[in-house]
Amino acid sequence: MEETNDWLNELPVNRHGRRMLTLQRARHVAICSPTSWCIAAYGCSYAIAKETSYPECTLYYIVDEDNEPLRFEHLDAAMHFVRTQLHISGARILPAAASILETYRASLAAGLRALRFR
């Protein structure tokens, strides 16, 4: 069964005409539409988004009071937020976010190896 995106029409619109997924609306959407949530890389951090099948915009990021994507410094923090605030058991980690995590782990491992050889 394919999920509909009816919730999209209920989102507030910013001054540029872009629909905003506020935290309050995200909590409601998570109850009505619990699938297709993801964690994506956003700059050097992570953001949580709802994926849609609409071609003009496939990701709707949860925004803060300043209408900026709600960002998390660590992937684990974003995953914890999805579980505790949206009550979603799992969100898909987009490949770009996964590669940031792998790069971070590799640099951390390289730093630890360098410390061992001092």
Q: What percent of the chain has pLDDT over 70?
A: 74
39: nearest Cα among 83, 99, 94: 94
Helix (H) or strand (E) holding 61: strand 59-63
6 CB-contact burial (10 Å; exposed 0-12 / middle 13-18 / buried 19+): exposed
Q: For 34-54, how does the pLDDT look when each residue is reduced to its tens digit (9 = 90+)?
A: 888 999 988 889 999 998 876
Q: What's the pLDDT band for 2 if we cut at 50, 70, 90? A: very low
Looking up tokens 């997924």 gives 21
Q: How many CA atoms lie within 13 A of 75 on its CB side?
A: 20
What average pLDDT does the structure give for the chain? 81
Cβ(23)–Cβ(85) under 8 Å?
Answer: yes
Per-residue pLDDT at 17 = 81
3-class secondary-structure state, position 21: strand
Q: Tell me the range of 11-15, 69-73, 106-110 where mean pLDDT is highest.
A: 69-73
Q: How far is CA 96 from CA 15, 30, 77, 87, 106, in A?
A: 29, 23, 17, 24, 15
Q: For 83-114, how does the pLDDT look when each residue is reduced to its tens digit (9 = 90+)?
A: 999 999 878 888 765 555 555 566 666 666 66
